[in-house]
A and B are shown apart, each in its own frame.
Chain A
């Protein structure tokens, strides 16, 4: 394990004398804070118990759950005065004598913690239950955990872990040498996530750090002027500094090279509600006490263009001067001749679809700190922040500060969920500008509403698709047009506009394709990267039409997809001939028994329901997807290094940012097998732009495939060097025994070797991989990705015809992952993707100003998740490490269309607007019953 057990408990005596005495984790504690202080804040700020997390400060997410006299409560809405004389138990109080308790052990063994931010809340809620009920039922577990939101796991492994406490053998058996890949190795950063020791963006900051409060626009579009800041400061002397647009050396940024269209702080004009205009610095409580209405800002609101339709037709009314027609960019893939193909088609279907803004809703709001450090006579900026992309952050912050790259260091915190949201820039440049200006450490933690209003979302889409096939049910043509609302600034809008047309055809062989997209600027919330980059929206449209075409042909929906499935040797819409590892047909084969069973079961249920007068109906539906692994054409190399130390331990310099998906476990698994040592001999230096090489972003499902290869090559390089050192054959076995290296018959005492660097590496292997691609031409022809993941999912649902509510009963998910490096982690990604897909399908809709919190913006709870059965297909990818591809995004993509397909099977209603909330579905059901089109 990389981290020892660290309860993180600051000596309670250090907390000083105060008026509120209570017991915390069995020890007396005195709190010196105002009586109504939120218990969560007191635990973290006064006692240093940062294992208790704050996700919302409103009792909406449960991350802060602690036990108060043994009962679970949200510590963010509990006054410390109410805890006087009572007993509080936090996550730090669970492990005893450095040993995980059975609940923690179960979480570790079954992979119940991914990012780990909800884990403290889950553990405490489960502890409350288990204390009074040692062997609960699943329903009892769900009731107990219902108040804690998790955005990573889909809850299934959490529930299984709680159920396992009563009876399972929870010991872990680490894999032996050469057996790491394919094993269910428990996550190597798991213990720290289960004890509360892990440090997230809000959990660490230098003494004396100033708090940054960002003042944001209440208007979607407005001009503004800042008033007299000196006078403002005289009135509120607690203000120790400001940052304004004038303080930003280069006041523009974007995750993409062009256009750098977003200011760090707006300069006289705002383009969306929530845009940053002014920063106030000082002591936290004093700074947040200044009323919003007192801010010295004069607004001149303007008419906001909030929808693409309006923005596209608002002649001359440009959101950005450089973007005529308010179009950020266009995507285009054209193959064959759709115009000629449609008249020849035996069957043609066509439809419009719309999807809404979707919020990432990671439970950890953006947080971190920046400080200026002196190093070698130079001032450098050090940034501690939750991020999916430390290397890009470094470049972007250096750019904003107009500093050379080497004068910025990004030290990522643990990250409490990202899903594409923390692939963007949020607090980074604000902290950097403030710390650089004031030459003092500066920290920030976004409030939940601030996080939701100011950071990018999933693009709302308007998609029209026309799909045709021949008499035998072979697809002949697709015409696809999609507009994506990218909001006020570019963010990852270009990636969405480019990725969607490539994927529009779905995983099918289609001779004629025209797929056109536009990313449209509006004065709405920024849309950027979110698990799937637009492909989930497109998949809803195309998979719905696949069902309809199958029906027109009189062919079973699975069979229809099977006949059209793209296979190795077929060409994609981009003209890329798939060489290998195209396992959609195998995914569909895996689902055949479940498909037959589900159709039969729902027919039987509905027959009985009709006879008994019940208003419930069941249905089964299917959807398929493919997903290009890694960046679209753009180079996305990873470099990994791995060293051997005199201690006989191996150090992997792992820059593949862990975001809960498991890179700090999977990279060592791959490296261990490539080097030929047990994974237990590998230590890690986790991503840090000073200490690790650039392993790119944790995005685009690329880390296992790209960085995994780099880790493999690095370990192979080290192995070569060590065998050479030992003078043995290249195929000799290699072992480490204590401080001795044994290669073939030779034995080398590592203590006698001279390190090659200051870190103490005796030898250093290096690996680099950049997926081979070919740039796309004007018609999108080329090789956009080196490999694709494939999946087919089957959903079984029950619809209440009276209320329009949908209960998803079961999802069967078959995924071609090439090779499951760690099946537990792969399942975890699939479960989590399905949970987010279910939310997209049924409940999630971000509306700026209306759903800026976690009680109006709904994500699935433990009670909303179906049973999930996974089928792992391993059609090895020759280019991948041990055949592996990627699985981060794929499960989200076909989930919503599979659910909609099942709703249609149950009711006959075709969903054309996501999410299918109860009121929308009820309206559609009524229209359907009346024979109308809604």
Chain B
């Protein structure tokens, strides 16, 4: 039926990870999973003019499992699977972000690793994973390596993934059972909306009610979502009430939002400060059993 000028490019659909990695070692395939970024970029254009590596049938890449160090979220795990997975409460922020991705259809198709690899500054999945201290596991025929998420996403649509590598999992470290998390998304409408600003906080309190460990990340206000590790360290040892007194504008240095159709830079920066306080407050409240 097709009278294409270019011969239809190859489409691989391996079931074994080794085959997928062999393909990538061979040629720079475009990796296809949920399709939620590939197809929107090709409206009115051909979809069969690039070599595609469809990884959705690689069994080893799907699902969420417990590991010795924490949790492993397979690359092709969809946002719906995140929502439905029986995970500890510290994942509530990530689940809230999953519910904020597009609409139900996008959550059913879109994958966690795809969200990271697309590297949109407004990727809703990134701040909660940053706040959780997630790492990205990359594999190639040469072996595997792990990178902190903050070192994986390098900028707007830019990642540390080499063309021959595949993201195979997102690794979330274990948190104390009492740890809690939060996520807030600011958008101009309820569903199907790209965030103006969003953020996530994770906190674990010690027995005395002091912050033992915490994380905070804000997205859509810089080329890549930012994790505020110095602030997180500063808050350790304080009670939530004291922690709020510690917060200062310079703690959120690095935010550099742009003006676009969703909001002005000035608005974004102010909203980011408000939102950072709110996600921390929510996580604290939950950790203290107040919410």
Pick from B104, B189, B261, B266: contact of A144, CB under 8 Å: B104
Q: How far is the CB of B186 from chain A (nearest CB, A)?
A: 6
Q: Do A36 and B3 touch (CB < 8 A)? A: no
Interface string of B174-194 (1 = CB under 8 A from A): 000000000000101111111
Is B253 close to A, CB under 8 A?
no
Across the interface, which residues of B come within 8 angstroms of A236, CB to CB? Answer: 5
Is A861 close to B, CB under 8 A?
yes
User: How long is the Cα–Cα vector from A68 to B104 in the complex, in angstroms?
Assistant: 13
Q: Is the interface of A mostly helix, strand, loop or mixed?
A: loop
Q: Do A58 and B39 touch (CB < 8 A)? A: yes
Across the interface, which residues of B come within 8 angstroms of A847, CB to CB? Answer: 261
- Select the residue from A36, A73, A147 with max chain B CB neighbours within 10 A: A36
Look across to chain A and name the residue whose beta carbon is closest to the beta carbon of B3.
A286
Pick from B1, B6, B188: contact of A289, CB under 8 Å: B6
In B14-60, the 8 Å CB interface with A consists of 32, 34-36, 38-40, 43-49, 52, 54, 56
Q: Do A143 and B11 touch (CB < 8 A)? A: no
Is B99 close to A, CB under 8 A?
yes
Contact stretch, chosen from B160-168, B204-212, B226-234, B267-275: B267-275
Q: Do B263 and A919 touch (CB < 8 A)? A: yes
User: How long is the Cα–Cα vector from A850 to B38 in the complex, in angstroms?
Assistant: 20
Across the interface, which residues of A come within 8 angstroms of B268, CB to CB? Answer: 919
User: How long is the Cα–Cα vector from A73 to B99 in the complex, in angstroms?
Assistant: 15
Across the interface, which residues of B come within 8 angstroms of A842, CB to CB? Answer: 188
Is B13 close to A, CB under 8 A?
yes
Q: Do B2 and A918 touch (CB < 8 A)? A: no
Across the interface, which residues of B come within 8 angstroms of A76, CB to CB? Answer: 39
In A817-870, the 8 Å CB interface with B consists of 842-843, 845, 847, 850-851, 853, 855-856, 858, 860-864
Is A8 close to B, CB under 8 A?
no
User: How long is the Cα–Cα vector from A930 to B238 in the complex, in angstroms?
Assistant: 35
Q: Do B267 and A72 touch (CB < 8 A)? A: no
Across the interface, which residues of B come within 8 angstroms of A142, CB to CB? Answer: 190
Q: Do B189 and A147 touch (CB < 8 A)? A: no
Q: How far is the CB of A613 from chain B (nearest CB, A)?
A: 12
Q: How far is the CB of B198 from chain A (nearest CB, A)?
A: 12
Q: How far is the CB of B276 from chain A (nearest CB, A)?
A: 12
Contact stretch, chosen from A77-85, A192-200, A502-510, A682-690: A77-85
Q: Do A290 and B5 touch (CB < 8 A)? A: yes
Pick from A79, A143, A288: contact of B46, CB under 8 Å: A288
Q: Number of B residues contacting the other chain (C-beta, 8 Å)?
A: 53
Is A399 close to B, CB under 8 A?
no
Is A450 close to B, CB under 8 A?
yes
Interface string of A283-312 (1 = CB under 8 A from B): 101101110000000000000000000000
User: How long is the Cα–Cα vector from A922 to B3 in the complex, in angstroms?
Assistant: 54
With A34-B2, A77-B109, A79-B54 as known contacts, state yes or no: A864 contacts B43, CB within 8 Å: no
Which bucket holds chain A's interface residue count? Answer: 35 or more
Q: Do A34 and B8 touch (CB < 8 A)? A: yes
Look across to chain A and name the residue whose beta carbon is closest to the beta carbon of B33.
A82
With A34-B47, A286-B5 as known contacts, state yes or no: A918 contacts B188, CB within 8 Å: yes
Q: How far is the CB of B45 from chain A (nearest CB, A)?
A: 6
Is B67 close to A, CB under 8 A?
no
Q: Do A37 and B56 touch (CB < 8 A)? A: no
Q: Do B3 and A803 touch (CB < 8 A)? A: no
Is A74 close to B, CB under 8 A?
yes
Is B108 close to A, CB under 8 A?
yes
User: How long is the Cα–Cα vector from A917 to B193 in the complex, in angstroms?
Assistant: 13
Q: Do A447 and B44 touch (CB < 8 A)? A: yes
Is B62 close to A, CB under 8 A?
no
Look across to chain B and name the residue whose beta carbon is closest to the beta carbon of A238.
B3
Across the interface, which residues of A come within 8 angstroms of B39, CB to CB? Answer: 38, 57-59, 76-77
User: How long is the Cα–Cα vector from A842 to B188 in the complex, in angstroms?
Assistant: 8
With A36-B32, A125-B104, A858-B193 as known contacts, state yes or no: A283 contacts B3, CB within 8 Å: yes
Q: Do A77 and B40 touch (CB < 8 A)? A: yes
Q: Do B102 and A147 touch (CB < 8 A)? A: yes
Q: How far is the CB of A457 from chain B (nearest CB, A)?
A: 15
Across the interface, which residues of A come within 8 angstroms of B148, CB to CB? Answer: none
Q: How far is the CB of A842 from chain B (nearest CB, A)?
A: 7
Across the interface, which residues of B come within 8 angstroms of A354, CB to CB? Answer: none
Across the interface, which residues of A come within 8 angstroms of B194, CB to CB? Answer: 855-856
- Select the residue from A32, A72, A128 with max chain B CB neighbours within 10 A: A72
With A35-B13, A59-B106, A289-B46 as known contacts, state yes or no: A918 contacts B267, CB within 8 Å: yes
Q: Do A57 and B35 touch (CB < 8 A)? A: no
Q: Do B192 and A861 touch (CB < 8 A)? A: yes
Is B173 close to A, CB under 8 A?
no
User: How long is the Cα–Cα vector from A79 to B47 in the complex, in angstroms?
Assistant: 9
Q: Do A147 and B54 touch (CB < 8 A)? A: no
Q: Do B43 and A36 touch (CB < 8 A)? A: no
User: How long is the Cα–Cα vector from A33 to B47 in the complex, in angstroms?
Assistant: 12
Is B144 close to A, CB under 8 A?
no
Across the interface, which residues of A come within 8 angstroms of B264, CB to CB? Answer: 919, 923
Q: How far is the CB of A241 from chain B (nearest CB, A)?
A: 15
User: How long is the Cα–Cα vector from A923 to B264 in the complex, in angstroms?
Assistant: 10
Is B80 close to A, CB under 8 A?
yes
Is A60 close to B, CB under 8 A?
yes
Is A805 close to B, CB under 8 A?
yes
User: How long is the Cα–Cα vector from A166 to B194 in the complex, in angstroms?
Assistant: 34
In A21-37, the 8 Å CB interface with B consists of 32-37
Is A65 close to B, CB under 8 A?
yes
Q: Do A72 and B2 touch (CB < 8 A)? A: no
With A38-B47, A802-B274, A863-B191 as known contacts, state yes or no: A79 contacts B35, CB within 8 Å: yes
Interface string of A626-650 (1 = CB under 8 A from B): 0000000000000000000000000
Q: Do B108 and A71 touch (CB < 8 A)? A: yes
In A66-100, the 8 Å CB interface with B consists of 68, 71-74, 76-79, 81-82
Q: Which residues of A contact B (CB under 8 A)?
A: 32-38, 56-60, 62, 65, 68, 71-74, 76-79, 81-82, 125, 128, 142-144, 146-149, 236, 238, 283, 285-286, 288-290, 447-450, 802-805, 842-843, 845, 847, 850-851, 853, 855-856, 858, 860-864, 917-919, 922-923
Given contacts A36-B32, A286-B5, 14 further A-B contacts (CB under 8 A): A35-B54, A38-B47, A59-B39, A74-B106, A79-B35, A125-B104, A125-B105, A285-B46, A289-B5, A289-B46, A803-B274, A853-B43, A856-B261, A919-B264
5 closest A-B pairs (Cβ-Cβ)?
A147-B103, A863-B190, A146-B191, A919-B267, A58-B40
15 contacts between A and B (CB under 8 A): A36-B48, A56-B43, A57-B43, A147-B105, A286-B2, A289-B5, A805-B188, A843-B188, A855-B40, A858-B188, A861-B192, A863-B191, A917-B188, A919-B266, A923-B266
